[in-house]
Amino acid sequence: MYLPPDRQPLCNYTDPLTGDPWYCFKPKTLSCSARIDHSLRGYVQKVITKKEQRLFASGINVKVPIRPSGSDTISVLPSRPESKSVKRDAVNLNTSGYYYQGLWRPLSTVSMRKFNLAAITQRLTNKEVHMYGDSTVRQWFEFLRSGLPDLKEFRFDPQNSNKQGPFMVMDSKHNILVTYRCHGPPIRLTNVKVCEMRYIANELESPSGGPNTLVAISIWAHFSTFPVKMYIRRLQHIRKAVVRLLDRAPGTLVVIRSANPQSLHNMVSLYNGDWFTQQLDTVLRAMFKGLDILLVDAWQMTVAHGLPHDIHPPPAVFKNTVDLILSYVCP
């Protein structure tokens, strides 16, 4: 890491849990002990020359549709008769599929169904749901918080209007608890309290686990602008924490959400595009392969749909990810 002469750090620090290197710089107006917030500074965006810009011209070299060389239709054949029972074994991470009449059909043992809000409440009765990660898993939390009528929100800090949490909602009538907390740095958020920046590996030590506990994790969107080795170290510690959780409570359902393509505009693809995200997604799948977890393949579910890509998938895609989890919770 190159540091200009006028920006030499006061101290170097290696996080003992993740092994990530961090640097402490002297604030312009405050002392280090007075630092209470973390904030996003920005990106260096002019990273190519004018000649290189022509290679990334939208509609000419980028975002050009690829026409099919043969037939552009597919034939869907009846599935082979199989046992209706679904075993809670380790799920094959190659969970590709297709859409039929708006419902995602995964090529796995999970039998997909649609759930209305009343059915979702029924499936989550007497259950705890803990979500950790970026805004793509917070999308699940916000869906439950705004959709289920009996969920009431409890704010730990009434003055906290940020999106990193921690958030908690509870339905005392049906005994449902849902929580969310953002993952630790690096995070591309502004004005985050330092005391609220927690690592997922640490947070996974808190739930007691069991058949009535669901843990959902999504961590990728904030790492695409960092070296992949940093992401690998972070996932290694999360994997170890997941293994410890499953060892002490084998019935716990752990859900890992994959990355997904996002909309690419201006020069974003050069420093935060799908090429970088796909590398992280490959690492994610390799890291959790072989564990008794459910992978929600948001990448395939986004690519297979005709709607434009978005870092937060539209309702037609997003609702299917929720239905996939619920179909697995209650086969």
Using the predicted structure, report yes or no on whether residue 180 has a pLDDT greater than 70: yes
Report the percentage of the chain scoring pLDDT > 90: 47
Higher-pLDDT residue of 64, 301 = 301
Average pLDDT for the chain: 82
- Of 86-95, 112-121, 213-222, the poorest mean pLDDT is in 86-95
Instruction: Count Cα atoms within 13 angstroms, Cβ side, for 108.
Output: 25
- Quick check: 87 pLDDT over 60? no
pTM: 0.78
More confident of the two residues 268 and 83: 268
Q: What is the DSSP letter of 12?
A: E
C-alpha torsion angle, residues 254, 96, 323, 253 (rounded to 10): -10
Residues 243/291, Cβ–Cβ less than 8 Å = yes
pLDDT at position 252 over 50? yes
The Cα–Cα gap between 96 and 164 comes to 31
For the CA atoms of 159, 311, 243, 89, what is the dihedral angle to 10 degrees?
130
Q: Where are the domains of the chain?
A: 5-38, 97-329
**Contact at 8 Å (CB) between 124 and 174?**
yes
Residue 113 in tokens = 């169904």
Length of the chain: 331
CATH fold for domain 97-329: Rossmann fold (3.40.50)
Using one digit for the tens of pLDDT, what is the confidence trace for 143-163?
Answer: 999 999 899 988 766 555 567
The answer to whether 261 and 299 are in contact (CB under 8 A) is: yes
In this prediction, residues 308-317 reach a mean pLDDT of: 92
